[in-house]
Homo-oligomer: A and B are copies of this chain.
Amino acid sequence: MTAHVRDGLRQEVLDANLAIPQVGLATLTWGNVSGVDREAGVFVIKPSGVPYEDLVLDHLVTVRLSDGAVVDGDLRPSTDTETHRCLYRAFPSIGGVTHTHSTHAVAFAQARRDIPVLGTTHADTFNGPIPCTPDLTADQCVKDYEYNTGRVIVDMLDGDDQKAVEVPAALVAHHGPFTWGTTARKSLEHAIICEAVADIALHTMALSPTAPPPPHLLNRHYTRKHGPDAYYGNPTPAPAL
C-alpha cells in the first residue's frame, strides 16, 4: 500500500535526516527527522536503527497522524515516532520535528536545566530560554512512553501553539532535545542552533557572567529575524544567476 504525500516531502525528510551526521549531531544511528503533510493527515519519518550511510528514500515510513498507524513503508518507524506525532497533534504550526542526542543540549537535559538566554546568538532564533521538562512519572514510562514524552513537552508549553512558534525547541529531562519548525529542514536547523547555543552557554557559565543580557537587545535580535518587521535574509535564499 502506498500513501500519497505532497511532492517533495519525502526527499526533504531524507535530506534532513542525512544532514544530521554531516553537521556532526549524530552518533551511530541516533537522531531522526520527520515532516508532515497536514492535508493527507500523515507524516514521514526515518525508520528505526538504520545506519545513515545506508538510508535511502524507500526506507522512509509514513505514519497516520490520527492513530499512529504505519500507512506506507516496509520498515518499523523510529522508536520516537509517537513523540513526533504528539507534537504534530498539539501544535498546528509545526511542519517538521527533529530529535538528536547532541552533546551539549543533552548535558543541559541531564542536568534538568533550561538553556538560558545569554546573548544574541540565542535570541536570533529562540524568544526565551529553551525549557527543560520535569521527569516523566513511573506511570508515564510504563504505558505509551514515547507519546507521553511528547505530552510532557506539550504540557510544559500549556499546549500553546504560539509558545511553540516563539521557542521551537525543548529539552526532555534526562533525555535530550526535540526541536521543530515549519518544515523538516527548519526543525533540523533549530537542532543545530540548539546545540550551538548550549555549547556557548556552558562556556559562558564557566566564565561566571555577572550581567544578564538586556531585554531590549534580545528583543531587537528576535524581531529583526522574525515577525512583521523582520529584515534578515533575502526573499529567496539564493537567486538563480
Contact = CB atoms under 8 A, between A and B. Distances in A.
A156 interface: no
B206 A241 contact: no
Assembly stoichiometry (copies): 4
The contact size tier of chain A is: 35 or more
A108 B176 CA distance: 22
A59 interface: yes
A24 to B, nearest CB: 10
Given A135-B213, A203-B107, A241-B59, A234 B189 contact: no
A223 B201 CA distance: 33
Interface in A183-241: 189, 192-193, 196, 199-211, 213-214, 216-217, 219-220, 224, 231-234, 237-239, 241
A175 interface: yes
A138 B214 contact: yes
A207 B203 contact: no
A106 interface: yes
A51 interface: yes
A104 B192 CA distance: 17
Interface in A167-192: 173-176, 189, 192
A51 B237 contact: yes
Contacts of A41: none
A229 to B, nearest CB: 12
A103 B196 contact: yes
A136 interface: yes
A211 B224 CA distance: 38
Contact of A107 (B111, B136, B207, B220): B207
Interface stretch (A89-97, A118-126, A158-166): A118-126
20 contacts: A27-B193, A48-B233, A49-B237, A55-B238, A75-B239, A101-B121, A107-B206, A107-B207, A110-B200, A110-B209, A110-B213, A111-B208, A112-B209, A120-B175, A121-B175, A141-B214, A142-B216, A145-B224, A173-B211, A205-B207
Interface of A: 27-28, 30, 47-51, 54-56, 58-59, 74-76, 79, 101, 103-104, 106-113, 118-121, 135-138, 141-142, 145, 173-176, 189, 192-193, 196, 199-211, 213-214, 216-217, 219-220, 224, 231-234, 237-239, 241
